[in-house]
């Protein structure tokens, strides 16, 4: 009979004991009711089924809810018996879950989730890989971008964009030269007027900030004239809001065919990145094959590889901490199950199903984990607030998606899933082991062999906790030591007391490139007269990445070009192997004398290697420049996040883009010297060109601020390490509490025969020392894998690793000794009569 068969399937949704006790009766009930309804006709039959399904859903849910209520009551009673240890575990667990939640949310916002304006399709950008791995925009002439836009089969809204900075009305403003398609890509709309279109001439669209500050948000701004770089532009529209950092752009100007800039486009529906890449390769081959670039996802272009590295490393660290917390919870569960094993055996003996018992036993660990999940929510909110408060100000807010990092529904869901999963994961093994035991021995008092087996299991759990804690502590200490070491290198110390100078012209348009180079030359020589040597470079050490370049012959990126003056080689660590720096008189000679570092000489020995060789450099615009090798130099690392010097070719600064040049002036350290240096710089500017104004910043402080990624990595790893240490201590405490309670008679006997705290301490430690030493050595060996992490951020100095190993082991053993000493003291302090009771 099909309906009865169907109803029996529905019965499977009831708890097992209800099924076993009442299943047959319910089926009989169903059979009678169904027979009656069939006799009554079709309508009654339909009503019968409707009523039955509703009854089934309600009663099955009620039966499960009743069981859950009973289990929860029992779990709450059990947890209340040890409030301090349970509370400590919940708080630590809560910290671990909150850290994991935040890391998942950060990864989702920065790496996984499409950006808000990518709803119509993902954006791609034409880039070339730089030496540090950060994708750099590939620049193209605007007319070539237009041609690509017309011909592309895989991309739409192919747009030219190029950002600029300008002084207008006495203030610094940012803006973009862009094609109209760029607005569509970023989802930007006009709040007043319109956006510019193809074919528009000297028109401009102003950003929300400029509209508010200069035009008070009035519609009368539309149609007014704005003078920019000596040219008049008619304002045709104003924006209310733009996404992310684009909001900082005050001015949007239509691109012109002669300009160079980047390419941003949207993949057509169904097209993949590799299709766009193949199309670009074909396109650039037709155009002469001079630009070995490729399309990259837009959200990757301002994402330095160290951010990826930090996110993944921290995720791994906090995941290990979560496993450690799970091991702690499992250890607690073992203790609880040992305590209530008689009750469980009775339930088994009277026929409780294994599923029911498993559910009963898992409830406790799930309740603990869910309470920890509840604790984790305010902690996650606090942690996210902390990250925004400290990282927004140092430029992290410019990362696309960073503003989305907050405690939203997804974050809450992640916390819930993490806590439930950890609760089930932690409780499963102890529960499974318990329900698979023979109930009769469980009813008897524990015998030696069963105690030994349980003790071994507990020791295995403790060893697992130590094995998980060791690598975390090693990582935390190694990264902290390495970070301090890199920040204290000779080259960084050299810039500790220095000022960065930028050139501004508030009262007139910027001079031409040639005039600017002349001006810079005059100012540097004037500063030299005043006793200050100025370093000029377009890739500020420890801050900026230089422009990627390629060799013409090799047709591939092999390093970066940095435009510098000869004083750049005064930085400690530069040692000329052959040849030497160029003289000031050679700086403007053609072909320019260049200095290559050993990294270039090593990797491209066939191309570079001999002094006086001619070298052709192809820059990012595809322009070829011939040069002459004047020197080969050993170079110190000038990137905080790279442990070795990148392949670099140093070119005299007059051959670079003078607008990108930065000047660094060192002084003697104290604040008085800083003031003198500032005065000297201002005087030099005034003497050379009264219209030029120096923008002066504390360069040493900027380097410290740029160290933020490493500082936070070390900070997060230290938090993970401290959590690991805390969890290992909690695990050790649980292990000792259970061991002492099980072996109370043995402790009593030892005390009766004169053992003191030290004796008990040695006795307990001897039991664990071999296992813990073995896993510590294994885990420390595993932590050595740190050396092979694929990034320049891994600790490179042996000192950092040895410090990591040494301190981690010392910390763990010190923690064990302290916890074990306290437990031994408590055991030894028990009154004589209580001891006699144990005996």
Partner 1 sequence: MKPRFDPTPFLPLPHAHFEILVCLAENEQHGYAIKREIARRTAGRLQLGPGSLYGAIKKLTDDGLIAESDQRPAAHLDDERRHYYRLTAEGQAVLRAEAARLRSLVELAETRFAPARPRRA
* Binding footprint of partner 1 on the chain (CB under 8 A): 14, 18, 21-22, 24-30, 32-33, 51-52, 54-56, 58-60, 62-63, 66
Minimum gap (Å) between residue 720 Cβ and partner 1: 48
Contact 613/551 with Cβ under 8 angstroms?
Answer: no
Minimum gap (Å) between residue 335 Cβ and partner 1: 30
Choice between 27 and 822, CB closer to partner 1? 27
Minimum gap (Å) between residue 336 Cβ and partner 1: 25
Minimum gap (Å) between residue 24 Cβ and partner 1: 8
Integer Cα distance of 42 and 751 in angstroms: 83
Minimum gap (Å) between residue 26 Cβ and partner 1: 4
Phi-psi region of 399 (alpha: psi -120 to 50; beta: other; left: phi over 0): beta
Choice between 63 and 394, CB closer to partner 1? 63
Please choose, from the candidates 128, 160, 155, the residue with its C-alpha nearest in 3D space to the C-alpha of residue 145. 160
Minimum gap (Å) between residue 453 Cβ and partner 1: 36
Choice between 7 and 93, CB closer to partner 1? 7
* CA distances to 652, 669, 753 from 529, in Å: 21, 20, 87
Integer Cα distance of 527 and 519 in angstroms: 12
Minimum gap (Å) between residue 23 Cβ and partner 1: 9
Q: Which residues contact 61 (CB under 8 A, 6 or more apart)?
A: none
Choice between 52 and 375, CB closer to partner 1? 52
Choice between 58 and 529, CB closer to partner 1? 58
Minimum gap (Å) between residue 14 Cβ and partner 1: 7
Beta-sheet pairing, 498-504 with 225-228: unpaired
Choice between 21 and 488, CB closer to partner 1? 21
Q: Which residues contact 749 (CB under 8 A, 6 or more apart)?
A: 839
* C-alpha count within 13 angstroms, C-beta hemisphere, residue 320: 29
Integer Cα distance of 73 and 80 in angstroms: 11
Integer Cα distance of 298 and 182 in angstroms: 13
Minimum gap (Å) between residue 347 Cβ and partner 1: 14
* CA distances to 87, 89, 148, 734, 738 from 84, in Å: 5, 9, 68, 12, 15
Q: Which residues contact 8 (CB under 8 A, 6 or more apart)?
A: 23, 27
Choice between 34 and 177, CB closer to partner 1? 34
**Is omega for the bond preceding 591 within 30 degrees of 0, making it cis?**
yes
CA 419 to chain CA centroid, Å, is 22
Q: Which residues contact 461 (CB under 8 A, 6 or more apart)?
A: 327, 330, 331, 334, 731, 735
Other beta carbons within 10 angstroms of residue 355's beta carbon come to 12
Minimum gap (Å) between residue 43 Cβ and partner 1: 15
Choice between 64 and 825, CB closer to partner 1? 64
Contact 714/458 with Cβ under 8 angstroms?
Answer: no
Choice between 32 and 488, CB closer to partner 1? 32
Contact 391/405 with Cβ under 8 angstroms?
Answer: no
Minimum gap (Å) between residue 369 Cβ and partner 1: 29
Minimum gap (Å) between residue 36 Cβ and partner 1: 10
Minimum gap (Å) between residue 120 Cβ and partner 1: 50
Which token pair is 101? 């939640």
Minimum gap (Å) between residue 367 Cβ and partner 1: 23
The H or E element that residue 597 is part of is: strand 593-597
Which token pair is 794? 């891994």
Please choose, from the candidates 135, 508, 464, 138, the residue with its C-alpha nearest in 3D space to the C-alpha of residue 307. 135
Which token pair is 34? 């169904």
Phi-psi region of 782 (alpha: psi -120 to 50; beta: other; left: phi over 0): alpha
Choice between 62 and 225, CB closer to partner 1? 62
Choice between 8 and 838, CB closer to partner 1? 8
Q: At 152, is the secondary structure helix, strand, or coil?
A: coil
Q: Which residues contact 128 (CB under 8 A, 6 or more apart)?
A: 135, 136, 138, 291, 292, 293, 294, 548, 557, 620
The H or E element that residue 128 is part of is: strand 123-129
Choice between 60 and 459, CB closer to partner 1? 60
DSSP letter at 573?
Answer: T
Minimum gap (Å) between residue 3 Cβ and partner 1: 13
Choice between 58 and 691, CB closer to partner 1? 58
Q: Which residues contact 503 (CB under 8 A, 6 or more apart)?
A: 516, 519, 520, 663, 692, 693, 694, 695
State the angle between helix axes of 305-339 and 341-349 in degrees (0 to 180), rounded to the nearest 10: 70
Choice between 51 and 256, CB closer to partner 1? 51
Choice between 27 and 460, CB closer to partner 1? 27
Which stretches does DSSP call E strand in 169-248? 171-178, 190-193, 203-206, 225-228, 231-239
Minimum gap (Å) between residue 20 Cβ and partner 1: 11
Minimum gap (Å) between residue 25 Cβ and partner 1: 6
Choice between 59 and 129, CB closer to partner 1? 59
Choice between 59 and 504, CB closer to partner 1? 59
């Amino acid at each position: 009979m099909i309906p009865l068969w169907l109803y029996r399937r529905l019965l499977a949704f009831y708890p097992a004991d209800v099924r076993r006790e009442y299943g047959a009766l319910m089926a009989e009930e169903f059979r009678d009711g169904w027979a009656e309804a069939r006799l009554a006709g079709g309508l009654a039959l339909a009503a019968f089924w409707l009523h039955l399904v509703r009854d089934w859903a309600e009663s099955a849910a009620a039966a499960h809810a009743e069981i859950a209520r009973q289990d929860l009551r029992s779990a709450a009673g059990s947890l209340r018996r040890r409030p301090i240890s349970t509370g400590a575990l919940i708080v630590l667990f809560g910290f671990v879950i909150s850290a994991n939640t935040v890391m998942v949310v950060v990864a989702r916002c920065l790496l996984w989730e499409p950006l808000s304006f990518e709803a119509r399709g993902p954006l791609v950008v034409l880039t070339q890989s730089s030496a540090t791995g950060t994708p750099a925009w590939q620049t193209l002439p605007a007319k070539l971008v237009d041609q690509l836009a017309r011909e592309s089969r895989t991309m739409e809204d192919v747009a030219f964009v190029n950002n600029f900075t300008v002084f207008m009305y006495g203030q610094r403003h940012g803006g973009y030269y862009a094609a109209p398609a760029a607005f569509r890509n970023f989802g930007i709309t006009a709040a007043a007027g319109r956006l510019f279109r193809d074919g528009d001439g000297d028109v401009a669209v102003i950003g929300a900030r400029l509209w508010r500050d200069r035009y008070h948000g009035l519609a009368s701004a539309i149609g007014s004239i704005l003078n920019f770089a000596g040219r008049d532009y008619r304002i045709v529209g104003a924006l209310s809001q733009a996404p992310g950092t684009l909001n900082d752009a005050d001015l949007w100007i239509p691109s012109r065919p002669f300009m160079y800039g980047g390419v941003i486009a949207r993949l057509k529906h169904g097209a993949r990145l590799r299709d766009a890449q193949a199309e670009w390769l074909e396109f650039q081959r037709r155009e002469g094959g001079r630009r070995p670039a490729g399309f990259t996802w837009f959200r990757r272009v301002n994402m330095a590889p160290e951010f990826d590295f930090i996110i993944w490393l921290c995720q791994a660290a906090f995941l290990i901490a979560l496993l450690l917390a799970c091991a702690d919870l499992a250890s607690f569960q073992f203790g609880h199950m040992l305590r209530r094993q008689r009750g469980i055996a009775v339930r088994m003996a009277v026929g409780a199903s294994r599923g029911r018992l498993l559910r009963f036993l898992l409830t406790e660990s799930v309740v603990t984990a869910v309470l920890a999940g509840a604790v984790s929510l305010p902690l996650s909110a606090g942690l996210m607030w902390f990250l925004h408060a400290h990282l927004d100000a140092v430029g992290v807010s410019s990362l696309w998606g960073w503003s989305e990092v907050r405690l939203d529904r997804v974050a809450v869901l992640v916390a819930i899933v993490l806590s439930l999963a950890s609760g089930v994961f932690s409780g499963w093994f102890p529960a499974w082991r318990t329900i698979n035991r023979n109930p009769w021995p469980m009813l008897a008092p524990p015998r030696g062999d069963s105690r030994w087996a349980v003790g071994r299991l507990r020791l295995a759990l403790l060893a697992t906790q130590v094995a998980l804690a060791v690598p975390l502590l090693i990582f935390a200490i190694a990264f902290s030591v390495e970070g301090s070491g890199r920040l204290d290198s000779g080259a960084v110390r050299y810039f500790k007391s220095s000022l960065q100078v930028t050139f501004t012209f508030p009262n007139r348009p910027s001079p031409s490139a040639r005039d600017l180079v002349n001006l810079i030359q005059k100012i540097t020589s004037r500063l030299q007269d005043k006793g200050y040597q100025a370093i000029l470079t377009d890739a500020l050490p420890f801050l900026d990445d230089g422009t990627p370049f390629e060799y013409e012959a090799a047709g591939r990126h092999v390093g970066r070009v940095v435009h510098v003056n000869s004083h750049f080689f005064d930085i400690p660590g530069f040692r000329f192997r052959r040849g030497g720096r160029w003289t000031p008189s050679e700086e403007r000679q053609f072909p320019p004398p260049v200095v290559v570092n050993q990294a270039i000489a090593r990797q491209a020995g066939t191309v570079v290697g001999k002094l006086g060789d001619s070298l052709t450099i192809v820059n990012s615009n595809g322009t070829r420049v011939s040069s002459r090798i004047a020197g080969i130099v050993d170079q110190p690392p000038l990137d905080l996040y790279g442990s070795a010097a990148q392949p670099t070719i140093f070119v005299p600064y007059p051959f670079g883009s003078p607008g990108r040049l930065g000047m660094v002036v060192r002084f003697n350290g104290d604040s008085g010297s800083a003031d003198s240096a500032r005065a000297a710089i201002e005087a030099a500017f005034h003497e050379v060109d009264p219209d030029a104004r120096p923008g002066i910043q504390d360069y040493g402080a900027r380097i410290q601020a740029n160290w933020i990624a490493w500082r936070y990595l070390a900070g997060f790893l230290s938090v993970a390490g401290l959590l690991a240490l805390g969890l290992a201590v909690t695990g050790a405490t649980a292990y000792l509490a259970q061991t002492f309670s099980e072996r109370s008679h043995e402790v009593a006997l030892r005390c009766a025969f004169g053992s003191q705290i030290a004796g008990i301490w040695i006795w307990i430690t001897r039991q664990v020392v071999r296992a813990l030493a073995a896993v510590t050595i294994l885990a420390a060996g595993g932590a050595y894998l740190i050396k092979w992490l694929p990034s320049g951020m891994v600790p490179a100095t042996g000192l950092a690793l040895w410090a990591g190993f040494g301190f981690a082991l010392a910390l763990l053993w010190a923690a064990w000794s302290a916890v074990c000493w306290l437990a031994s003291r408590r055991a030894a302090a028990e009154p004589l009569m209580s001891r006699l009771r144990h005996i």
